Copies of this chain bind each other. A is one copy, B any other.
Amino acid sequence: MKIVISQLNYVIGDVDGNTSKILEEISKARKVNADLIIFSELAVCGYPPKDLLDYPSFIDRCELAVKQIGENSSNIGVIFGAPSWSNLDRGKKLYNSAYFFENQKLLKRIDKTLLPTYDVFDEYRYFEPNKIFECISFRSEKLAVTICEDLWNIDDQKMYKLIPMDVLQNENPTLMINLSGSPYSYNHVEKRRNRMQQNAKKYSLPLFYVNQVGGNTDILFDGGSMFINKNGDVVEECAFYQEDFKIIEWSSGSVYPDNHQDYYDYDISLIHDALLMGIKDYFTKMGFKKAIIGSSGGIDSAVVHALAAKALGGENVKAIMMPSKYSSKGSVDDAVKLAENLNSPYRIISIEETVESLNSTLEEEFEGLGEDITEENIQARSRGIILMAISNKYGHIVLNTSNKSESAVGYSTLYGDMCGGLSVIGDLYKEQVYELARFMNRDGKIIPQEIINKEPSAELRPDQKDSDSLPDYSVLDKILFHYIEEKKGWREIVKLGMDEDLVRRIIRLVDKNEYKRFQASPTLRISHKAFGIGRQMPIVAKYDH
């Protein structure tokens, strides 16, 4: 039996476009005489479709597409994901379904059982869980088809009471198929492969695992679809960060050796590629070509500039250097050098006049009061206005350059350096930003060494250094990681050997700045706990845990 894994990049909501892509792939599969082609979860509408699913007209449109794809299943089995009406008297109105057509006939609709509702997932917001389990006879095989999370409930800490494959196994299937929408995070690649291998071994069945690829605002799908043999060896693995069309000759008697690429749990090159794809797809899918960056000569904007140049072409990224009287000469020079390295247009626009006019405008209101954080924020916001004005004038998108460490503790100005359509490195702690800079410089100096070497500074007052108000990033990032990713309270973090006053101060800063992050731009997600929809903390609240 010839089986095709079709790993595609879908556009959310674009039912027409996604359907066309699916139909093309079916034609391609038919040309190579494939018996079966498999697409990923919710392929017809893209993942995650979010509250588009609340629109009945949208579901009706998806059902039309399902029909259209079904009509194009002559001589080939086609499995793909789409939402479907549940038509139940009681329960949620929709299922997250996999449709299985052959020769214009619906062989079966399989509905998802386990609905992830945590972190960035919210499927129970829309879908009713399936309670009916049946395998599907197809040619000489018996297929156990499941959808994404249905195969994940297999480790020691089971999040759901039911294990769908345990039920399906009773019918003695010969093959497992899983339609997936499994987004990237840096510790997910290895975990996902292990989990799928565990399934193959547990049930002693081969598994065709079909993921999707592409950036959908903040969520990044990395692909890596697999064919795993019944011993748990990864026989075929699809590309990462690219569409793929993988033909697999399958027969139950054959021997399939382990053949997987060696990715590690934490790999800066995968983070790098994920961010590139995230930038690229954000622009392509929104219909934009060009980006603007406020380039300070610091490490954060340098890394974002270098990433954007790689994703969009250096000539499509415009760097704006906006020095003030507190900017060192080196800052502008370094930013210019970077722009030249990247072949990017740039312009130096002083904020002095704007800052002075604002200070003079506010003189009467602030009479008799000393300078404080207000004047620093005025600088950051003047830069924000200038960037947004250029964005408005040319229709280019401002890329935000904040990192996760500063977002966490609120070391950033709302409507100032927090502005932008997309945060590129907002899920990387400062130390990871440095790691990424070194990685990008591995084949030559894209990012000037001066930028990597200089001590971090916001340059908003004379001789300011980040270390004036924050601990070393090596310490800060560690506290933040334990609080945010590991969800430890302050007592637990102190037990790890950290200073109590410091830990509590940092945690209070994180909590206090929830109101800022609520208004932040979407952030490319590369960790298992990114700021944004995956971490929903109360704003008006009081806690100290």
A residues touching B (Cβ–Cβ < 8 Å)?
11-15, 17, 46, 48-52, 54-58, 61, 88-92, 115, 117-118, 122, 124-125, 153, 158-161, 215-217, 281-282, 285-286, 347, 349-351, 353-354, 356-358, 360-362, 364-366, 369, 372-374, 377-378, 381-382, 384-386, 388-390, 392-393, 414-415, 419, 421, 487-489, 491-492, 515, 518-522, 533, 535-543, 545
Sorted nearest first, the 5 A-B pairs with minimum C-beta distance are: A57-B489, A13-B543, A357-B357, A12-B541, A14-B542
Find out whether the CB atom of A538 lies under 8 angstroms from the CB atom of B92.
Answer: no
In the complex, chain B residues whose CB is within 8 Å of the CB of A350: 361
Q: Output the least CB separation between A346 and chain B (Å).
A: 11
Find out whether the CB atom of B357 lies under 8 angstroms from the CB atom of A374.
Answer: no
- Residue of B whose beta carbon sits closest to that of A382: B385
In the complex, chain B residues whose CB is within 8 Å of the CB of A487: 54-56
- Stoichiometry, as copies per complex, reads 2
Check A366/B393 contact, CB under 8 A, given A57-B488, A540-B285. yes
Q: Output the least CB separation between A61 and chain B (Å).
A: 6
Check A377/B389 contact, CB under 8 A, given A521-B519, A542-B17. yes
Docked pose: A122 CA to B160 CA in angstroms: 17
Find out whether the CB atom of B365 lies under 8 angstroms from the CB atom of A57.
Answer: no
- Residue of B whose beta carbon sits closest to that of A286: B540
Docked pose: A373 CA to B392 CA in angstroms: 7
In the complex, chain B residues whose CB is within 8 Å of the CB of A353: 357, 360-361
Find out whether the CB atom of B378 lies under 8 angstroms from the CB atom of A389.
Answer: yes
Docked pose: A321 CA to B384 CA in angstroms: 22
Find out whether the CB atom of B11 lies under 8 angstroms from the CB atom of A542.
Answer: yes
In the complex, chain B residues whose CB is within 8 Å of the CB of A61: 545
8 further A-B contacts with Cβ under 8 Å, apart from A15-B543, A347-B364, are A13-B541, A46-B538, A56-B487, A88-B161, A117-B117, A217-B540, A362-B390, A373-B392
Docked pose: A134 CA to B537 CA in angstroms: 34
Find out whether the CB atom of B374 lies under 8 angstroms from the CB atom of A541.
Answer: no
In the complex, chain B residues whose CB is within 8 Å of the CB of A372: 392-393
Docked pose: A216 CA to B538 CA in angstroms: 8
Check A91/B125 contact, CB under 8 A, given A57-B491, A381-B385. no
